[in-house]
A and B are shown apart, each in its own frame.
Chain A
Amino acid sequence: MSEKNSHILLANADDHRIAKLAAIAIGLHLIEAVLPSPLPGVKPGIANIVTLYVLYKFGIGTAAWVSLLRVFAGSLLLGHMLSPTFVLSLSGAITSLLVLFFAIRLPRRWFGPVSLSILAAFAHIGGQLLVVWLWLIPHAGIAYLTPVFALAALVFGIINGLVTARLLSND
């Protein structure tokens, strides 16, 4: 290979930071995957704590990198790559990132990590249920599960938001 055609990719400080944070998120994602769940689909979503923390510390761009890397690497490690599980995970991550993109612009004095966490959790299940309904199970029966998922999003959204607030206050 001639000197002209060779490309050297250099990882800068940002790349290292994203990799480290994504690694934490992937770790939490894997821990959560082995936890038993009372109902398929109801999960605490503890990896979202990392997304929220990164959003506050480094902005939406880094948060999107960390969140999407977590989805891709997590599904590779768990063997879900390109399966419906992966698509659900990805759609949840994308919708919650979209909502966070707007929610982070809310006045900081009034709305903290708890609000953002709840909104992201609702966006997460919203995106997933939409994919389930449009693609996997096009049946009105999905509506019966919606309240349960919404309740889980509310409870875990508050808890994850409080944890994020605590992490941010430690800095």
Chain B
Amino acid sequence: MSNPISSRPYRDLIGAIRPGDWLTVLTTIAVVMVLFDSLWLGETASKVQIRAGNQIHSTLSINQQRVVEVPGPLGITTVVIDHGRARVASDPGARQYCVKQGWLDQAGQVAMCLPNQVSVELLGSRKIHDSLNY
């Protein structure tokens, strides 16, 4: 080869991209973004389901500002719903795992306060499995 590649100007490389190629690049960038969005970010939640003991205490829309007080064997667990997210604000349990879990905003996320037998689960349009066994 008489002309080493390094001596060629850089613009030659960009010049090799034809108009339709830009279309291909932009289309595939859009495809990649849709894939990340749909397969990684998960589904936004639409409802909050609160369970107390073995019963469903209430199923509420997540798009509201509301504080729910749920009675359990140890006392009151306070659940806060805040326009698209929810959390357990206080719980009488000893270890406070469900409180420390913080805000939940994706469908399928759960916070459980086991000592007081209260759980908060975010629901999407369809039920996702939380585990699979073969």
Q: A114 contacts B31, CB within 8 Å?
A: no
- Contacting B at CB under 8 A, from A117-171, are 118-119, 122, 139, 143-144, 146-147, 150-151, 153-154, 157-158, 161-162, 165-166, 169-170
B residues apposed to A, CB below 8 Å: 1, 3, 5, 8, 12-13, 16-21, 23-25, 28-29, 31-32, 35-36, 39-40, 132
Can you list 8 A-B pairs, Cβ within 8 angstroms, ordered by A? A107-B20, A110-B21, A111-B20, A112-B16, A115-B24, A122-B28, A151-B36, A170-B1
Q: Roughly how many angstroms separate A111 CA and B17 CA in the complex, as a whole number? A: 8
Contact residues in B for A169 (Cβ distance below 8 Å): 12, 16
Q: A150 contacts B32, CB within 8 Å?
A: yes
Interface: A92 (CB within 8 A): no
Q: A115 contacts B32, CB within 8 Å?
A: no
Of all chain A residues, the one with the shortest Cβ separation from B17 is A114
| Interface of A (DSSP majority class) | helix
A residues apposed to B, CB below 8 Å: 106-107, 109-115, 118-119, 122, 139, 143-144, 146-147, 150-151, 153-154, 157-158, 161-162, 165-166, 169-170
Q: Roughly how many angstroms separate A144 CA and B132 CA in the complex, as a whole number? A: 15
Contact residues in A for B23 (Cβ distance below 8 Å): 115
**Closest-CB distance, A88 to chain B (whole angstroms):** 20
Q: A147 contacts B36, CB within 8 Å?
A: yes
Other A-B pairs, 10, CB within 8 Å; known A115-B20, A118-B25, A154-B25: A110-B19, A110-B20, A112-B16, A112-B17, A114-B24, A115-B18, A122-B31, A144-B40, A146-B39, A166-B5
**Closest-CB distance, B1 to chain A (whole angstroms):** 7
Q: A109 contacts B18, CB within 8 Å?
A: yes
Q: Roughly how many angstroms separate A169 CA and B21 CA in the complex, as a whole number? A: 17
Contact residues in A for B132 (Cβ distance below 8 Å): 139
Closest 6 interchain pairs by CB?
A110-B20, A165-B16, A111-B20, A115-B24, A147-B35, A114-B21
**Closest-CB distance, B131 to chain A (whole angstroms):** 12
Q: A150 contacts B35, CB within 8 Å?
A: yes
Contact residues in B for A122 (Cβ distance below 8 Å): 28, 31
**Closest-CB distance, A39 to chain B (whole angstroms):** 14
